Amino acid sequence: MKALLLRDLRLAFRSGGGFGLGLAFFFLLSVLVPLGVGPEGGTLGRIAPGILWIGALLACLLSLDRIFALDHEDGSLDLLATAPIPLEAVVAVKALAHWLVTGLPLTLIAPGLAVFLNLPAAGYPWLILSLLLGTPALSAIGAFGAAITVGLRRGGLLLSLLVLPLYVPTLIFGGEVVRRGAEGMALGTPLALLAAISLGAAALLPFAAASAIRVNLR
């Protein structure tokens, strides 16, 4: 399993592996929003939590179809399905690899982009914490979506149609944590619920994803 994780990470960092694409997208979005909304600091500060969370979500979405598609094309997914480790574990490891190359870097550069969006100072620690707790859910849900669409030729568009509604609760609680943090309000409840979604998704969705892959490989 460690070998699988390392292999996935190596593939992601290789040229054309898609690492950096999500980050660049996230960066661009944070630059484009002020250009569209106007430079007024108060407005930007108020919408910053939502924009940053939506940016993270969309950046995550960009690389989802890579989780299984490449392995499906060259047949290594069939090998993994018949390998001695359970397919559920394979899914979990791949979701983890996806998080390490998208969710984690997104979390790390988010504070820098928050400067562009004039996020109030009190919001920074909560921005990092909420993304750290929330992005694993994005990867786990995304891996499920990718597993459903893996056999389809033009799965990319469908993938976003399937996955984005599933992202709603994560987005709501994540944005709420940062907004409340920025306004100095109590945020224990949304933070706990965000963590609960991540844990629940990481624990249960690999099973759903694995059964979807089995169907697709049949």
Q: Which range in 20-28, 36-44, 80-88, 162-170 contacts another protein by CB under 8 A?
A: 162-170
Nearest CA to 213 among 142, 144, 136, 110?
A: 144
DSSP string, 6-38: HHHHHHHHSTTS-TTHHHHHHHHHHHHHHHHH-
- Give the nearer residue to another protein in terms of CB position, either 113 or 129: 129
**155 forms part of the interface with another protein (CB under 8 A):** yes
CB atoms within 10 A of CB 138: 32
Amino acid at the residue 98: H
Q: Which range in 65-73, 79-87, 109-117, 151-159 contacts another protein by CB under 8 A?
A: 151-159
**211 forms part of the interface with another protein (CB under 8 A):** yes
Nearest CA to 81 among 202, 89, 73?
A: 89
The H or E element that residue 102 is part of is none
CB of 153 to another protein, least distance (A): 9
**49 forms part of the interface with another protein (CB under 8 A):** no
Cα angle, residue 165 at apex, residues 161 and 171 outer, rounded to 5°:
130
CB of 190 to another protein, least distance (A): 7
- Give the nearer residue to another protein in terms of CB position, either 19 or 173: 173
Binding site for another protein (CB under 8 A): 144, 148-149, 151-152, 154-155, 158, 161-162, 164-166, 168-169, 172-173, 176, 179-180, 189-190, 193, 197, 205, 208, 211-212, 215-216, 218
